[in-house]
Amino acid sequence: MTATATRGAPIRLGGVGKTFSLKRGKSVEAVRDLSLEIQQGEFVALIGPSGCGKSTVLRMIASLDAPTSGTVTVADQKPGELAAQHRLGVAFQDNALLPWSSVRHNLALPYKVAHRPVDRQRIDDLIDLIGLRGFEDARPKQLSGGMRQRVSIARSIVLEPDVLLLDEPFGALDAVTRRRLNGELQRIWMADPVTTVLVTHDVDEALLLADRVVVLSPRPGRVSKVLEVPFARPRTQEVTRTPEFHELVDELTAELDVLSRGSGE
């Protein structure tokens, strides 16, 4: 399979910090002095110990949280400006599909929110892309967990956003389904390689999907390690059984182990 031309927007985080205020005047510093550049059309995975600020970083890129210090830009604009233009696509572990609506109507929702005419051909093409032809009229409760996540990802890209943000999209699924959907996500991304940031706890998933894996330190999160993934696409399950893949899994796992022990977890 050959990827189409890359599109999307570069993402830049410069000296970003994020502190959350708690009750009784207390606060917690989630991220400190984090700098990272993500190129147009690049797929980057964020991994790190629990509580290291991975999702906080993603939420700042999505304009759902504002940095306390430093700058976050997408296409040299503030993320909120792109979000207002519906140029950011986001999918979370909770698929957040409308339970009373069909697959087709859930995919049409972003058009209605953006006050745009519904592109029925685009929706049909995505239904084919995610392999749900024949389930167009099914409601979420009639779909498996993996099928619901495919709909969620399709909904996040239906408006052809400049950036796709994925926060543990397969975290609640069993291992077999998760591996299968890793392949599905790679296939969807290769058909339209938009700038993508994936938050995951799964080292294998990060190496299978990403161009670069960024490891964050324990809270407050900072960039601890950046690994360029050397494997050509498409990456099949055969790649995961090679010595080279296992060496990188061991390298990243060892890094996470050191960081976790250093944090007292």
Q: Residues 126-143: pLDDT tens digits?
A: 999 888 999 999 999 999
CA–CA distances in Å: residue 111 to residues 104, 106, 118, 153, 221: 12, 10, 6, 15, 36
DSSP per residue, 181-246: HHHHHHHHHHHS-BEEEEE-S-HHHHHHH-SEEEEEPSSSB-EEEEEE--PPSSP-TTGGGSHHHH
231 close to 239: Cβ distance less than 8 angstroms = yes
| Per-residue confidence (pLDDT) for residue 93, from 0 to 100 | 80
Q: Residues 220-240: pLDDT tens digits?
A: 999 999 999 999 999 988 999
Say what the pTM is. Answer: 0.91
Other CB atoms within 10 A of residue 256 CB: 20
Task: Spell out the residues 6+ positions from residue 199 whose beta carbon is closer than 8 angstroms to its own.
Answer: 45, 46, 54, 55, 57, 58, 166, 167, 168
| Per-residue confidence (pLDDT) for residue 170, from 0 to 100 | 84
| Per-residue confidence (pLDDT) for residue 1, from 0 to 100 | 38
Q: Which amino acid is at 97?
A: L
Q: Mean pLDDT across the chain, nearest whole number?
A: 90
- The gap between the terminal CA atoms of the chain, to the nearest Å, is 42
pLDDT classification of 6: cutoffs 50, 70, 90: low
| Per-residue confidence (pLDDT) for residue 5, from 0 to 100 | 56
Token readout for 167 is: 């926060």
203 close to 256: Cβ distance less than 8 angstroms = yes
